[in-house]
Chains A and B, each alone.
Chain A
Amino acid sequence: MTDRSLIMDEAALWVVRISDNPDSSMRAAFDAWLAQSPEHRMCYQIALAGWERLDGLGSLRLEPADDRIALPPAPPQARRRLAWPRALALAASLAAVIIVPIALLVPGEPALAYATRPGEHREIRLADGSRVELNSNSAIVVRFGHHIREVDLVHGEAAFHVTSGSRRFEVHVRHTVVDMTSGDFGVRLDTDGPRVTVANGLVELSGADARVGPGNLQLAANTVAKVTPDALEVQHLPATEVSRQLTWQNGMLQFDGQSLAEAVTDFNRSNRQQIHIGDPVIGQLHIGGLFRAADINGFADAVALTLPVTVRHNADGDIELTARQPR
């Protein structure tokens, strides 16, 4: 290797390091390196110029005319496979069939949960241990089998916490497929198309007609992709903004095996309306699930559905929980 090549390698490494962290404690070592000769300083300038030239790539993030990341409208038949689950989901929502997602129970026993109720937030635990948090007025269809881990987001918004498995985890929304092996991401279906927010892991985005491009589009942590009929916009966001976008669960209370007494204490702290536990024994029951902190009545109803508990509203509006008498 010539001196030229060696110095250029070192210069490139300094550019990579210093640009990544300008306050770096390596600064002194860098200055010493620069001081060695004009050739070192020149090589650094050459490397830096190239590095900055590569910044031009950043415009690919928002380049709608680019044929590789533009997402053409999918033909209507493209998602034929989805037809019946969609119809099912539609029928389910029309019939107002509600399966309250909660669970209870004895610690250690898996919490079973499916489904959706408009106006509620629900946490759904899937068979593989992954979790789905469903925002209000949202609907999903879950298809799990030996060869698939698929969720259709029919409408609304959901956050997915995917555990690693032998299969990729796919979320279908409109004509877009979002998939990953493990990590956390959110999908929201707006009127103009879906938005995908990645908190952790590497997500792949593809169109149903597979025309996003060879190898699909990869979204790293802290990126947001907005798919419209014409284009795909990908933005990198600070981690704080990503977590804000994904924490519509804010103001939520989540329980995972806590006692009913502890849960009630939490609810009472955030509500004027109070819950009283009439029988100490039910306070020892364990519950699980995700609840809106302000929805104290919804919580009481959910508890009554899943635990041997009767809900009674007192004259002052407070709620009393008592043990349901065996018949």
Chain B
Amino acid sequence: MTNDEERTRWFRREVLPLQSRLQSFARRFSRASAKEPEDLVHDVLLRMFTLERWRAVDRPLSYAAQTLRNLVLAEVRHNKVVPIVPLPVLEWAELADDRPGADREAEARDDLRLLRELIDALPPQCRRVVTLKKIHGLSNAEIAETMGLSISTVEKHLVKGLRTCLQQWSVGTAAPSDEDCNSHDRSLADHGRGRALGRTHQR
């Protein structure tokens, strides 16, 4: 396996599952950065994806959170704008549950039910196409024939279904509250607990 392949594997296994948590961090920088939280997270993920010294990262969440903060700082300096709000302080000590796999375990437990909810929320035609694809395992051509659609329409529905799910996953399974977006002084520990409760409730 080449270095690129290994790094891609590391990214898929260790970094990507952090996406929704990074998203909630990014929302806390929303006053300091002109960028959308989604774009901030995207930039952070890209830094991680292309990181030369990825093997040296032993706590991906901490590293990603620091990267996020640095990106916002660089943006602020570049714009020569003095922030009128203080940058939130990420309390590194509270990132202690940054152990590999923590998110993936929760993901595996929740997935089937959450997947069902995600799929059920899709528009009807899109839901049928995704169902035929992912539950019944039909090829795109078979779906097109069964539903009387063109293959490109089937592809569009699948892209839409996939993008909708990706969007849901990227913002996290718990619906973001206004409080999440506004509070600057809430510690990460508080945030982490709130999220854990959300998961327990969903199960």
On A, residues with C-beta under 8 Å from B are 2, 4, 8-9, 12-13, 15-17, 20-21, 38-39, 41-42, 45-47, 49-51, 53-61, 63, 201-202, 218-223, 234, 236
Contacts and interface: CB of A to CB of B under 8 A. Distances in A.
Given A20-B139, A220-B146, A221-B146, A58 B134 contact: yes
A46 B166 contact: yes
A60 B169 contact: no
A55 B50 CA distance: 27
A56 B111 contact: yes
Interface in B37-53: 38-39, 42, 45-46, 49-50
Contacts of B128: 218
Contacts of B163: 8-9, 12
B116 interface: yes
Give the 3 A-B CB pairs with smallest separation, nearest first: A42-B49, A236-B137, A57-B134
A220 B145 CA distance: 10
B155 interface: yes
A40 to B, nearest CB: 11
B68 interface: no
B16 A46 contact: yes
B132 interface: yes
Contact of A42 (B45, B136, B146): B45
Contact of B11 (A42, A55, A58): A42
B30 interface: no
Given A50-B169, A220-B136, A222-B138, A57 B162 contact: no
Contacts of A220: 132, 136, 138, 142-143, 146
Contacts of B132: 220
B131 A218 contact: yes
23 contacts: A9-B163, A12-B163, A15-B162, A16-B140, A16-B155, A16-B159, A17-B140, A41-B8, A42-B45, A50-B166, A53-B165, A54-B162, A54-B165, A57-B134, A58-B134, A58-B137, A63-B112, A202-B146, A202-B147, A218-B128, A218-B131, A219-B136, A221-B146
Given A16-B162, A218-B128, A59 B112 contact: yes
A61 B136 contact: yes
B49 A4 contact: no
Given A38-B50, A201-B146, A220-B146, A56 B115 contact: yes
Nearest to A236: B137
B55 to A, nearest CB: 18
B138 A236 contact: yes
A13 B158 CA distance: 8
A60 B166 contact: no
A56 B135 CA distance: 9
B12 interface: yes
B36 to A, nearest CB: 8
A58 B166 contact: no
Interface string B160-173: 01110110010000
Nearest to A223: B136
Nearest to B49: A42
B61 interface: no
A222 B139 CA distance: 11
B166 A234 contact: no
A257 B38 CA distance: 68
Given A47-B166, A223-B136, 9 more contacts: A2-B36, A12-B162, A46-B45, A50-B162, A50-B165, A53-B169, A54-B165, A56-B112, A202-B146
